[in-house]
């Protein structure tokens, strides 16, 4: 049950024609969410009294609608919930500077729409996932070192540029993370790729403290590591995978976590453990459901990519 506080405050304003009016400001506040709903209406001296009364009536009706909604009607309950979720995503982006979300261009929005649609064929899902993941890999490369280089252009002039100098390898969290390997190979030729398999308890969403399988390049401690996993839900698997990398000598600041979709719960849990790791993602969704699936999400990424739904 939500408590409702209604405040009324008159404010003097001035018409553009010089006439004075009073603005009555009413606010609805839901303390449990910190959400304020405000509505303004105007009381003034107008020549047409009928129009003024109609506006007053409209204002009163609107306040009744908002007040009724704030105490539990389905429509506004959904609206309030959506606002809280939106605020939660906005808050996590402000408080965690190591999360980098790709700009939501029209192209990015269109690709995500296709990937999230439950009616999308596997062929289209794989095609557009590969396109989007390659953009993520390109963005992740921005967090590796470069060195200044001068070259001569075909016109004979000099150009001050940059050249790649980082030794990179990828580590995919099996099985869904393997879907990102092709995009990494397409961007970084001859890149080395390690694998980690982490068993997760589907009931709790937490990983088994033991990992089932790990195979990493021998010189991984000297490389910048792209940790690949398309979904960051609870953060348990990613946290365990990073701990394995640290145990093998990889420096925390040399890890970039590349991710397709994440949520505030997972981001906060991951950042709490490893604040120096940069996270590159294409979307931060609202929340987790009771089954630890991201909402609105896109379903089980691995099943949709590899065609194993229902098994």
Looking at the whole model, is its pTM more than 0.95? no
> What is the pLDDT, as a whole number, of residue 41?
44
* Active site positions, annotated: 200, 204, 300, 303
Cβ within 8 Å of residue 255, ≥6 positions away:
224, 225, 227, 242, 245, 274, 277, 278
Q: What is the pLDDT along the chain (311 residues), one digit of tens a residue?
A: 444 444 445 444 444 444 444 444 445 444 444 555 554 444 444 445 655 666 566 556 555 544 544 444 444 444 334 444 555 788 888 889 999 999 999 999 999 999 999 999 999 999 999 999 999 999 999 999 999 999 999 999 999 999 999 999 999 999 899 999 999 999 998 899 999 998 766 666 566 665 578 999 999 999 999 999 999 999 999 999 999 999 999 999 999 999 999 999 999 999 999 999 999 999 999 889 888 889 999 999 999 999 997 65
């Amino acid at each position: 049950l939500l408590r409702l506080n209604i405040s009324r405050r008159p404010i003097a304003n001035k018409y553009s024609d010089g006439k004075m009016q009073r603005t009555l400001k009413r606010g609805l506040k839901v303390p449990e969410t910190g959400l304020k709903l405000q509505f303004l209406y105007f009381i003034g001296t107008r020549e047409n009294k009928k129009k003024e009364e109609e506006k007053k009536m409209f204002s009163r009706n609107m306040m009744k609608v908002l007040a009724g909604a704030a105490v539990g009607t389905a429509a506004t309950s959904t609206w309030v919930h959506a606002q809280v979720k939106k605020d939660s995503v906005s808050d996590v982006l402000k408080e965690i500077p190591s999360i980098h979300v790709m700009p939501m261009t029209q192209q990015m929005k269109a690709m995500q729409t296709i990937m999230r649609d439950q009616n999308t064929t596997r062929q289209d899902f794989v095609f557009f996932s590969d396109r989007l993941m390659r953009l993520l890999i390109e963005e992740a490369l921005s967090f590796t070192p470069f060195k200044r280089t001068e070259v001569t252009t075909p016109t004979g002039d000099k150009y001050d540029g940059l050249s790649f100098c980082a030794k990179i390898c990828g580590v995919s969290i099996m099985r869904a993370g393997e879907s990102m390997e092709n995009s990494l190979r397409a961007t970084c030729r001859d890149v080395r790729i390690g694998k980690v398999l982490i068993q997760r308890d589907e009931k709790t969403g937490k990983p088994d403290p033991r990992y089932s399988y790990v195979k990493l390049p021998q010189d991984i401690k000297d490389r910048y590591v792209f940790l690949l996993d398309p979904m960051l839900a609870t953060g348990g698997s990613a946290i365990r995978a990073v701990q394995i990398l640290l145990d093998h000598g990889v420096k925390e600041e040399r890890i970039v976590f590349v991710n397709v979709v994440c949520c505030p719960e997972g981001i906060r849990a991951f950042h709490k453990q490893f604040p120096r790791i940069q996270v590159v993602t294409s979307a931060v969704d609202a929340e987790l459901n009771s089954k630890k699936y991201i909402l609105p999400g896109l379903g089980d990424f691995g099943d949709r990519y590899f065609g194993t739904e229902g098994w």
